[in-house]
Amino acid sequence: MKRVVVIDDSAYNRRTITKMLEGMPNVEVVGYAVDGEEGIRKIAELKPDLATLDLEMPKMDGFTLLRIVMNSFPTPIIVISSKSEDERVFKALELGAVDFIAKPTGRISDELLKIRDDLQEKVRAVFNLNSALFNRGETVPVAVPAAGRKGVAALRPAAASIKADIVAVGSSTGGPPALQCILSAFTEKPPFAMVVSQHMPAGFTRTFADRLNRTTALEVMEARDGDMVMPGRVLIAPGGRNMVFQSVGGEIVARVVEPSAADRYIPSVDAMFISLAEQFGSRIVAVVLTGMGNDGSRGVKAVKTAGGQVLAESEESCVVFGMPREAIATGQVDRIAPLNRMAREIALRCGLVPEID
C-alpha cells in the first residue's frame, strides 16, 4: 500500500484530492496538513511515499516546506497549483518537487475534479521513480558539475565528419531541471540549433522558456508558428500543442499544431522527432531524457532510419526511467549517458571535440 500526505489549506481541496487518490488501487491517504509547518511534521512522522502540496498557505508556504523537507528527509512531492502561479511552479521544481499539476481554476470549485486523470497518472509515475535519488538525499541537479562544465567549455570545432546541425530533446517528469542542467553548460552560443518537447500543459511553457533563457548562452523561447530553426536558438514546444517542422523557402521553420487523437503525451516527442528526421536526415541528434511513458520510442526509430544519432539518459540520473528505457529497448540508441555528461555528448556529436582528450 502506497501512503500519501495531502497538504492544502482548503478543506474542500483536501477532501477532493483525497477522494481522487483513494480511487486508485493500493493508495491510502494517511495524513493531512493545512499549512507548511504541519506539513513538515506530518511528513517527518508518517514518512509517506508521496505528498501533494499547495504552494500558497498560511504560516509557512510551500517553498519553505520544500527546502526543509528536501534537506532533512527527502520525499517525492507533487505540486498542485493554479495556472496563474507558473513562475512559482518552476521555483518549486528547482527546489526539488518532482512534478506539478495545474488546477483548472484558482477558486475553490468542483472543477478541481478535472485533474483526476492527470493526478492519478503522475502519482503512478512517482511510485515508479528512481527512489535512490531520494534515499541518498539528492534531487535532480539543476547545474552541470564543475568537471562537466569545464569539458563543454574546452571544445573546439571538429575536423570534417558527419556532424549534427540540430539537437532535439524530449522529456517529461523530471525534465525541467534536467533541461536546465544541460543548457546551463553552454557558456557560448554553439553552432547548432536545439528544439525541445517537454510534456507540459498550456500556459506554462513561456515562463519555462524565460527561466531557461536566463541560465544559458543560447536564446531560449517558446516556439511560435513559423519561427526559424537557427544556430544558438532553442525552441520550446508550447504546452498542450505539438511542434513539427517543414521547409519554407529553403529555411526550416516550426509549425505549432493541434495534437492528434493518437497523441497520449503532449507536446509529442514522437511527432517532433519524426518531422525533424524528414527535414534533417543524418544531421540530427535526438535526446531522450527522464520521463514517464514511451513517448519518443517511435521517433528514435525514424531518426536512426534517416541516419541521425540518438542519446538516452541513463537510469542512474533519471527521476523516472520510463522514456529512456523505452528508447533503449528499440535498439536504436547510440549512447546512454548520465545527465552530467549529456551536454558534452551533445557537443561532441555536433562537430565539437575537446581541446585535450
Residues annotated catalytic, as ranges? 172, 199, 295
Set of cell numbers at residue 321: 526511467
Under 8 Å between Cβ of 317 and 351 = no
Distance (Å, rounded) from C-alpha 28 to C-alpha 22?
Answer: 6
The dihedrals phi and psi of 5, each to the nearest 5 degrees, come to: -115, 135
Distance (Å, rounded) from C-alpha 257 to C-alpha 246?
Answer: 12
Amino acid at 196: V
Distance (Å, rounded) from C-alpha 252 to C-alpha 260?
Answer: 22
Q: What's the longest Cα–Cα distance across the chain? A: 64
Q: At what angle do helices 62-72 and 86-94 cross, to 10 degrees?
A: 10
Distance (Å, rounded) from C-alpha 93 to C-alpha 84?
Answer: 16
The dihedrals phi and psi of 238, each to the nearest 5 degrees, come to: -60, 140
**231: preceding bond cis by omega (within 30 degrees):** no
Sequence-separated (6 or more) residues with CB below 8 Å from residue 2: 26, 27, 28, 49, 50, 127
Q: Is 247 exposed, middle or buried (CB count within 10 Å of its CB: 0-12, 13-18, 19+)?
A: exposed
Residue 244's Cβ-side half-sphere holds a number of Cα atoms within 13 Å equal to 14
Residue 194 sits at the vertex; the CA angle it makes with 299 and 152, to the nearest 5 degrees, is 115
